[in-house]
Chain A
Amino acid sequence: MTTDKKQSRTNHQPQNFFDSWRNQVSAAIRFSLRRLWYNPISTWITLFAIALALSLPAGMHLFLKNLQTLTDNNRQIPTISLFLHQETTIQQARDRAELITELSEVEQVDVITKDDAIDEFASITEFVESIKTLGDNLLPHVLVVTPKLNSPLTMGQDIKSLTDKLQNYVEVDTVQADIEWVMRLQRIIAIADRITWVIGILLALTVLLVIGNTIRLDIENRKQEIDVARFIGATHAYIRRPFVLGGLWLGLFGGIISLVVVHLAMLSLVPKVNALSNTYGGQFTLTGLNFSMTFVILVISGLLGIIGAWLAVSQHLRQQKIIL
Chain B
Amino acid sequence: MIEFHKVSKRYPTGQLALYNVNLTLQRGEMAFLAGHSGAGKSTLLKLIAILEHPTQGDIIINGKAVSTLNPRRIPAYRRKIGMIFQNPHLLPDRSIFDNVALPLRIVGMAKHDIRRRVQAALDKVSLLHKQKQYPMMLSAGEQQRVGIARAVINKPSIILADEPTGNLDPELAQDIMYTFQQFNELGATVLIASHDHHLIEQMQKRIIVLQKTEI
The residue from A20, A224, A227 contacting B108, defined by CB atoms under 8 A apart:
A20
The distance from the CB of B132 to the nearest CB of chain A, in whole angstroms, is: 17
**Contacting residues, chain A, for B157 (C-beta < 8 A):** 4, 8
Q: Are A232 and B150 in contact (CB under 8 A)?
A: yes
Q: Are A224 and B89 in contact (CB under 8 A)?
A: yes
Residue B85 is within 8 A (CB to CB) of chain A in the complex: yes
CA A167 to CA B7, docked complex, whole Å:
100
Could you mark each residue 211-236 of chain A with 1 if its beta carbon is under 8 Å from any beta carbon of chain B, else 0?
00000000000001101111111111
CA A229 to CA B78, docked complex, whole Å:
10
- We find that the number of chain B residues with CB closer than 8 angstroms to chain A is 31
Say whether, besides A224-B89, A324-B85, A234 and B106 are in contact (CB < 8 Å): yes
The residue from B108, B110, B155 contacting A21, defined by CB atoms under 8 A apart:
B108
Residue B215 is within 8 A (CB to CB) of chain A in the complex: no
The residue from B27, B75, B110 contacting A234, defined by CB atoms under 8 A apart:
B75
CA A24 to CA B81, docked complex, whole Å:
21
Q: Are A11 and B154 in contact (CB under 8 A)?
A: yes
Residue A12 is within 8 A (CB to CB) of chain B in the complex: yes
Q: Are B106 and A238 in contact (CB under 8 A)?
A: yes
CA A228 to CA B76, docked complex, whole Å:
15
The distance from the CB of A236 to the nearest CB of chain B, in whole angstroms, is: 8
**Contacting residues, chain A, for B51 (C-beta < 8 A):** 231, 322, 324
CA A4 to CA B156, docked complex, whole Å:
11
Q: Are A232 and B91 in contact (CB under 8 A)?
A: no
CA A19 to CA B110, docked complex, whole Å:
8
Residue B203 is within 8 A (CB to CB) of chain A in the complex: no
Shortest Cβ distance from A225 into B: residue: B91
Say whether, besides A12-B79, A232-B102, A20 and B62 are in contact (CB < 8 Å): no
Say whether, besides A225-B91, A324-B89, A233 and B75 are in contact (CB < 8 Å): yes
Q: Are B103 and A232 in contact (CB under 8 A)?
A: yes
Q: Are A23 and B89 in contact (CB under 8 A)?
A: no
Could you mark each residue 65-98 of chain B with 1 if its beta carbon is under 8 Å from any beta carbon of chain A, else 0?
0000000100111111101010001010000000
Q: Are A15 and B150 in contact (CB under 8 A)?
A: no
**Contacting residues, chain A, for B85 (C-beta < 8 A):** 324
The distance from the CB of B146 to the nearest CB of chain A, in whole angstroms, is: 12
Q: Which 9 A-B pairs have the closest CB atoms?
A: A20-B108, A233-B79, A233-B78, A24-B108, A23-B108, A235-B75, A234-B106, A233-B75, A11-B155
